[in-house]
């Protein structure tokens, strides 16, 4: 997995983990969201979903055997220092991006778009961003 674009400037952030086949679309949509809504997108390209999942499974195995104090997958290590919800995007079947959900950092929103749903990337990102704003407002009111 490789970081292709880091959002610049202050403001809200989101992490997009994209299959190779949707990177160009994601870059275009991210640029529009930055200009029109102030939403910064860190865009990651994932070439091999299966390898990333296998790394997580292996990390979990090490933890279960007592070889590690916690499950520390590569995906979690890459996402933990970042900000915002994680949106996994691929034209492949839904099961592919959902396999990484188990290895997302604790407490982080994780949503996947797959197949034809990818065409609704802009709308989904805006809806997810709005829901997170509402959650933060509710927490602030407590």
Tens digits of residue pLDDT in 90-110: 989 889 999 999 999 988 889
| Per-residue 3-state assignment (H helix, E strand, C coil) for 92-119 | CCCHHHHCCHHHCCCCCCEEEEEHHHHH
Q: Please give the Cα distance from 129 to 133 (Å, whole number).
A: 6
Nearest 5°: phi and psi at 10? -75, 170
CATH architecture of 2-141: 3-Layer(aba) Sandwich (3.40)
- Scanning the structure block, which residue is given the tokens 């034809």? 116
Q: Looking at the predicted structure, is the pLDDT value of residue 142 above 80?
A: no
Q: Are 64 and 45 in contact (CB under 8 A)?
A: no
Nearest 5°: phi and psi at 30? -60, -40
pTM: predicted TM-score of the whole model, two decimal places: 0.82
Q: Residue 111: which residues within 8 A CB-CB, separation 6 or more?
A: 85, 86, 87, 88, 124, 128
Domain regions of the chain by residue span: 2-141
Q: Are 27 and 43 in contact (CB under 8 A)?
A: yes
pLDDT in tens, 58-86: 999 999 999 988 888 999 999 999 988 89
């Amino acid at each position: 997995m490789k970081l292709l674009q880091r959002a610049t400037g202050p403001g809200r952030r989101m992490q997009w983990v994209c299959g190779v086949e949707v990177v160009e679309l994601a870059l275009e949509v991210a640029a529009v969201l930055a200009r029109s809504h102030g939403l910064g997108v860190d865009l990651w390209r994932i070439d091999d979903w299966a390898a990333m999942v296998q790394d997580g499974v292996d990390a979990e195995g090490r933890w279960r055997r007592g070889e590690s104090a916690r499950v520390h997958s590569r995906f979690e290590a890459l996402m933990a220092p970042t900000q915002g919800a994680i949106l996994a995007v691929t034209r492949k079947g839904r099961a592919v991006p959902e396999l990484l959900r188990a290895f997302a950092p604790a407490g982080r929103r994780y949503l996947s778009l797959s197949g034809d749903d990818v065409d609704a990337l802009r709308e989904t990102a805006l809806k997810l961003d709005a829901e997170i704003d509402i959650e933060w407002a509710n927490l602030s009111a407590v």
